[in-house]
A and B are shown apart, each in its own frame.
Chain A
Amino acid sequence: MTTTPRLAIRRSRSRSGAATGDRWLPLIGLLVLFGLWWLIAISGWVNPVLLPTPLTTLGALVKGILSGTMVTDFGTTVLRTFAAFALAALVGVPLGVALGSSEKLYRSVEFLIDFFRSTPASALIPMFVLFFGVNNLSKVVIAAFSALLLIVFNSAYGVIHAKQSRILAAQAMGANRWQIFKDVLLFESLPQTFIGLRSGISIALVIVIVAEMFIGTEQGLGKRIIDAQQILNVQDMYASILLTGLLGYSLNMLFLTVEKRLIHWSGK
Chain B
Amino acid sequence: MMVAPPADSFIAVQGLYKSFLGQPLYEDFNLSLPTNQLISIFGPNGCGKSTLINMISGLLPYDQGQITIHGKPIRQARIGYVFQNYRDALFPWLTAYDNIAYPLRVRGVSAAECHHRIRTLVETFNIRLDLERYPYSFSGGQQQLVSILRALVGDPEVLFLDEPFSALDFETTLFVRDKLQEIFITTGIPMLMVVHNLEEAVYLADQVLLLSKRPTRLVERVPFDLPRPRTPDTLSSPEFIQVSHHCLEIFRQEMGK
| Partner-B contacts on A (CB < 8 A) | 1, 3-4, 163, 165-166, 168-176, 179, 183-184, 187, 190, 264-265, 268
Contact = CB atoms under 8 A, between A and B. Distances in A.
- Of the listed residues A169, A175, A183, A265, the one surrounded by the most CB atoms of chain B closer than 10 A to its CB is A169
Interface of B: 57-59, 78-81, 83, 85, 88-93, 102-103, 106-107, 134, 136, 138-139, 141-142, 150, 154, 160, 171-172, 175
A4 B91 contact: no
A184 B154 CA distance: 19
Contact of A174 (B88, B107, B142, B160): B107
A184 B175 CA distance: 30
Contact of A265 (B57, B89, B92): B92
B138 to A, nearest CB: 8
7 contacts: A166-B91, A168-B59, A172-B81, A173-B102, A173-B106, A173-B154, A174-B103
Contacts of A166: 88-89, 91
B243 to A, nearest CB: 30
A168 B141 CA distance: 21
B59 A3 contact: no
Nearest to A176: B106
Nearest to B103: A173
A194 to B, nearest CB: 13
Contacts of A175: 106
Given A1-B172, A165-B89, A265 B134 contact: yes
A187 B91 contact: yes
Contacts of A172: 57-59, 79-81, 160
Contact of A165 (B83, B106, B141, B142): B83
Given A165-B89, A166-B88, A265-B93, A171 B59 contact: yes
Contacts of A184: 91
Contacts of B81: 169, 172-173
Contact of A169 (B78, B89, B154, B171): B89
A1 B139 contact: yes
Contacts of B92: 265, 268
Contacts of A176: 106
- Of the listed residues A166, A173, A183, A190, the one surrounded by the most CB atoms of chain B closer than 10 A to its CB is A173
A264 B91 contact: no
Contacts of B58: 172
Contacts of B175: 1
Given A265-B93, A265-B134, 16 more contacts: A1-B139, A1-B141, A1-B175, A165-B89, A166-B91, A168-B89, A169-B83, A172-B58, A172-B80, A172-B81, A174-B103, A175-B106, A187-B93, A265-B92, A265-B136, A268-B136
